[in-house]
Chains A and B, each alone.
Chain A
Amino acid sequence: MDNVTALQARNLSAGYGRRPVVAGINFSVRTGDILGLLGANGSGKTTLLRALTGQLPLMAGTVTIAGIDIVGKPEKAKAAFGLAIDPGDLPASLSGRQYLELVASIRGCPADTWPCGDVIARLGLARWLTRPIAGYSLGTRAKTAIAAALLGAPPLLIFDESLNGLDPEAAWEVKCMIAELAENKARAIVISTHVVESVPGLCNRAIFLADGRILESWDATGLAQAAPTPGAFEAHIIGRLREHRSRVGQQLQENASAASV
């Protein structure tokens, strides 16, 4: 299968109120890509994902999902991706089964259409599905959000720190599913994560955000070169973070001394 563009962001700026949090973002994701989104706390990862998924108005630029403009045709564009929402946002009064049925009804597909086998069984969710979400642990909520994102087998899957709180078996299972989904080049996956060491093994591309801008990006070859030994990629990222922080600190000091003069 040929690679097609699943997601494209051009000169994207977005933020809250009048304050842009991310600016000048340009990248695209093609089917078969597993893109890792890295960055420190407050670097703009979640804001970027919110803007990409039409949850936040764009201040500038465009976002297209499978060629559909997210601003012009939001419903059509949203039908082309599955987002594993923040576990805290799940409707607590519904049961897991009801929530999945609701999402399936909105997506217009049966509530058991998965792109990679029986996701409920693979994530060990079956015994929880009849109970209200209010009684779920963080990990079970995260599994429910992941299952809902996969419903209807959309061509683009977005996970915002969705591996947090998963038990080791479920985290392993999700990583296997992600690899399977990208394998036949029918889907693209975007994962935002703080688990830096998992990126070279799991992703074939990566973007590193700092202060709302792309500081560095890697393709498959670059990622392999950046991680020649275990821990090398993590050390590289930490080094870039510290370098960026000291540069920003220096700039602030210079600005302060210029203002005092």
Chain B
Amino acid sequence: MQHDRLVLSLLWSDLRAALRHMRKGDLAWLILGGGVLIAYGIADIVSALSHHAEVLRTARIVWTVETPAAAASLGLLLGLTASRTARAKALAPFLRPLPLSLVARRRAALLATSCFGILLAAIVAGLEGLAGSIVAIDDPLASALRAAAAFASGFAVTTFHSLAGMRAPVLLAAPAHASRSGFHLAVLGRLDHATPRWLNAWAWRLPAGRILLATPWIVACVAVSIAMVLATGASVAARQAIPAAATATLGGIAVFMLALRCHPLRSPILRTAPVGFSRAWLRLMRLPLLLSVVFFSLPASAAVAVQPSAWPMSVGFLLMLFVLNAAYGVFAAYFATSPFTAALSFVMAVGYAYYESFEYGRTVLLGLAGLIALLWHQARRRYRHG
């Protein structure tokens, strides 16, 4: 194995190891289910493009500005993900004591990220060209190249930014002290006191009763709070309950998603203890649910205050919040060690169900419920049998 292809080789080995560790049944489900879903999605998009071909053909702005802008945004996002993954591999703990310079690590990470970038840009160009051909625009090839160039620019910007920020691989915190410190909030300690004790503190990797002061958390909380204030203001100004009540639900689920961490479900500490999966899961959900309801109650109260007759609507939104929280809780339990994947999968599943509901109505909810039941079953099986 050559060290200039170090990151590529490590990622390839990880992929092979992940496939090897998958049960054959799960793999078959993934390939068949994923294949059917992708085929259905492509057919759906092709039919939508054909249906609106005439309008799209004349709307030049779609092909010259909007699609390249979307491709560039996608490039930014995927570039960030790919470069962070590559960076983590280039700075893997086992490489720390080896004589590998920062430049060599950066080069290996850049090589891996570039391979991803080229592959993804080719896919973007292919899809754009295909869409252009279906709509029968003047020059689908030029449009494809424009989209690929925009994607590549976005991808390159985040890649270079991320890899330029790579620092020498030294430890800044002892593994034993790697739990984040945060600041003291006594009420959290009291709320986290139920048996099994300190489960949320463990899940957040924080000393009991402290909360985290990290920039992404602060930004997210400020964004949710601003949305709450704006929605409440809009409700008060228009004497309408809907903006505040709807934002209360969205803010509540956002807070729940930010606060829920389920990695203890994969730990042998819980798995070998006389605690059932449901009890451990409900205990992990307890504190995030409380925070979510607290966030919900503020704008929801404003909604009831400006339009008292709309209280059933607020109750309905509260019930919806509980259902969404429970659904996300199942995703978080399934993707216990990766909250980002859990959140992304949940948002995509709900978004897709919402999109399909225009065509198939509420029957789509059955599919979503089936998916959640399957994930619950799999998460419980993993908890019991590893």
A, B from the same assembly = yes
**Which residues of A are interface residues toward B (Cβ below 8 A)?**
16-17, 21, 47, 50, 53-57, 74-79, 81, 83, 85-86, 89-94, 98-99, 101-103, 105-107, 132, 134
Q: Are the CB atoms of A75 and B16 closer together than 8 Å? A: no
**Which residues of B are interface residues toward A (Cβ below 8 A)?**
1-3, 6, 9-10, 13-14, 16-17, 20-21, 92-101, 168-174, 177
Q: Give the chain A neighbours of B95 by CB distance below 8 A.
A: 106
Q: Are the CB atoms of A90 and B94 closer together than 8 Å? A: yes
Whole-angstrom distance between the Cβ of A167 and the nearest chain B Cβ: 23
Distance in angstroms between the alpha carbons of A74 and B168 in the assembled complex = 10
Q: Given A79-B99, A89-B93, A92-B17, decide whether A17 and B172 contact each other with a Cβ distance below 8 A.
A: yes
Least CB separation from B173: chain A residue: A16
Q: Give the chain B neighbours of A75 by CB distance below 8 A.
A: 99-101
Q: Are the CB atoms of B99 and A102 closer together than 8 Å? A: no
Query: Other CB < 8 Å A-B pairs besides A53-B97, A78-B99, A102-B3, 10 of them?
Result: A16-B171, A47-B174, A54-B96, A55-B169, A78-B100, A85-B93, A93-B10, A103-B98, A105-B1, A134-B17
Q: Give the chain A neighbours of B98 by CB distance below 8 A.
A: 78, 103, 106-107
- Residue among B13, B101, B170 making CB contact with A55, cutoff 8 Å: B170
Distance in angstroms between the alpha carbons of A98 and B2 in the assembled complex = 10
Least CB separation from B181: chain A residue: A17
Q: Are the CB atoms of B99 and A76 closer together than 8 Å? A: yes
Whole-angstrom distance between the Cβ of A52 and the nearest chain B Cβ: 10
Q: Give the chain A neighbours of B21 by CB distance below 8 A.
A: 134
- Residue among A56, A57, A101, A107 making CB contact with B99, cutoff 8 Å: A107
Distance in angstroms between the alpha carbons of A21 and B177 in the assembled complex = 12
Q: Are the CB atoms of A98 and B3 closer together than 8 Å? A: no
Whole-angstrom distance between the Cβ of A140 and the nearest chain B Cβ: 16
Q: Given A91-B13, A93-B16, A94-B13, decide whether A78 and B173 contact each other with a Cβ distance below 8 A.
A: no
Distance in angstroms between the alpha carbons of A137 and B351 in the assembled complex = 44
Distance in angstroms between the alpha carbons of A99 and B6 in the assembled complex = 10
Q: Give the chain B neighbours of A56 by CB distance below 8 A.
A: 170-171
Distance in angstroms between the alpha carbons of A94 and B1 in the assembled complex = 10
Q: Are the CB atoms of A91 and B94 closer together than 8 Å? A: yes
7 contacts between A and B (CB under 8 A): A53-B97, A83-B97, A90-B94, A93-B13, A93-B16, A98-B9, A105-B2
Which 8 A-B pairs rank lowest in CB-CB distance, beginning with the nearest?
A93-B17, A78-B99, A93-B13, A79-B99, A83-B97, A89-B93, A16-B174, A101-B1
